[in-house]
Structure 1
Amino acid sequence: MKRFCLEVRGDYACFTRPEMKVERVSYDLITPSAARAVFEAILWKPSIRWQIRRIEVLAPVKWISVRRNEVGAVASTRNAQAAMNAGHGELALYIEDERQQRAGLFLRDVAYRLYADMEMIGDDARSNPGKYLAMFSRRAGAGQCINQPYLGCREFAARFRPVPLTETDDGDFQPGMDEPSALQEWSADLGWMLHDMDFSNPSNPTPRFFRAKVERGVLDLSRVEVRG
């Protein structure tokens, strides 16, 4: 297991609260699942798994309200199956007919420092972990990714760079002295936040939540209690 750190920035972000049924309303900061997706966008392999350990907020929380057009329907699986059986059919969605205007409360000018452990879960990774560690370091340093990392919604692209870490005497990891500090003046209890989806039953994945408490700009995920 090896710990990596990324500094992630973006002009806009939306980490949608699941209790909001129609309008998109973001959490106050990035969720662990969205942070994991940033690492997976740089390197994903079946033999490894990313575990987010800490999130540091580097910029003040700012909000923006936006109205935008969305498509209010999805392609029907029943129509797709019928078209496959018949060899032809109508599968298209016409935007003019399905367009809906919705309001969203998004974050703007976000900046985070994300800490994650690379866990070796496959035989190949366990027998040759250095290959995967070097692969991620090389890709992150060169700005390479499998797909463009994003901040909650795919239209909100994320900029990233690797942050070198040093291990302290107590086993913790800290960035260099020249790195920006976390938002020291912000401490808050944000209530229940989505941690990730549990795919132990692939046909019926269930959400898991945790109590998100930010202390001096840091959300420590190493000791949180996750509930289904």
Structure 2
Amino acid sequence: MKRFCLEVSGDFACYTRPEMKVERVSYDLITPSAARAVFESILWKPAIRWQMRRIEVLRPVRWTSVRRNEVASVVSTRNVITAMNEGRGQLGLYVEDDRQQRAGLFLRDVAYRLHADLEFLPARAPNDTLTKYAEMFARRAEKGQCVNQPYLGCREFAARFRLVKDHAAEPPPEASVDGDLGWMLYDIDFDHPNDPRPKFFRARIERGVLDLERMEVRG
């Protein structure tokens, strides 16, 4: 495995709590799955896997309340199946007829340092090496290249990122972010594709640092 560190920042972020049914209310900081998605947006291949190890909060937690117009429904699964089988069907949604206003409690002015291990799966690419993918990621991250634009929870909240080469030379985490943040979503378990299940962990942050290697994950 090879460890990498990214500094990620943005004007707004929303890591929605799943227990909130209608309104979008964010966790206090980025979730491990959202952090992993930032690395995957820069480089993802079938032969590699990203494992989040550490999250450092670089700015105080700030909130903002926003009211937005959203579409109230999704395209019917039955209509999609019909369109696939018959080559025709109604897949459109008209925003003017299906608009509703929802409030959201979002984070603002966020910045994190994300530490992740790049794991190589040789069974999926016998002729490749860990070094190949590590160099590929470092080259792309240093140039600011990505497969798709990284985002902070919601796609409209684009993220800026840079590769951190020398972690010791960086400023310390935000010490005011400290304590037990309660249960937080860790990831979705897709071992059973027909019954994906969320996994949670108790998020205890110490002086701006969330050490994921010490966390106990529960299904």
Runs of 4+ in 1 over 3 A off after TM superposition: 83-87
Q: How many residues end up aligned between the 2 structures?
A: 218
Look up the match of 1:149. 150
Q: Out of 177, 181, 206, which is 1:215 matched to?
A: 206
Q: Deviations over 1:123-161 (max 9, x none)?
A: 327851111000000000000000000000000000000
The 1:134/1:88 distance shift into structure 2, 3 A limit, reads: same
For residues 86 and 51 of structure 1, the distance between their equivalents in structure 2, rounded to whole angstroms, comes to 42
For residues 69 and 35 of structure 2, the distance between their equivalents in structure 1, rounded to whole angstroms, comes to 26
Aligned 8 A contact 1:193 1:211 in 2: yes
Q: Does residue 198 in structure 1 map to residue 189 in structure 2?
A: yes
Q: Does residue 187 in structure 1 map to residue 178 in structure 2?
A: yes
For residues 157 and 72 of structure 1, the distance between their equivalents in structure 2, rounded to whole angstroms, comes to 23
Look up the match of 1:160. 161
Look up the match of 1:172. none
Letter in 2 for 1:164: K
Shift of 1:83: 3.5
For residues 126 and 202 of structure 1, the distance between their equivalents in structure 2, rounded to whole angstroms, comes to 29
Identity %: 70
Shift of 1:91: 1.9
Look up the match of 1:36. 36
For residues 28 and 62 of structure 1, the distance between their equivalents in structure 2, rounded to whole angstroms, comes to 9
Secondary structure of 2:218's partner?
coil
Shift of 1:222: 0.6
For residues 89 and 178 of structure 2, the distance between their equivalents in structure 1, rounded to whole angstroms, comes to 56
Within 5 Å, give how 1:61-76 maps onto structure 2: 61-76=61-76
The 1:152/1:126 distance shift into structure 2, 3 A limit, reads: farther
Unaligned runs of 5+ in 2: none
Secondary structure of 2:118's partner?
strand
Look up the match of 2:14. 14
Select between 116-125 and 48-57 the one with higher mean Cα deviation: 116-125
Q: Does residue 110 in structure 1 map to residue 117 in structure 2?
A: no
RMSD of the alignment, in Å?
1.3
For residues 5 and 81 of structure 2, the distance between their equivalents in structure 1, rounded to whole angstroms, comes to 44
Unaligned runs of 5+ in 1: 166-174
Shift of 1:86: 4.1
Select between 185-194 and 152-161 the one with higher mean Cα deviation: 185-194
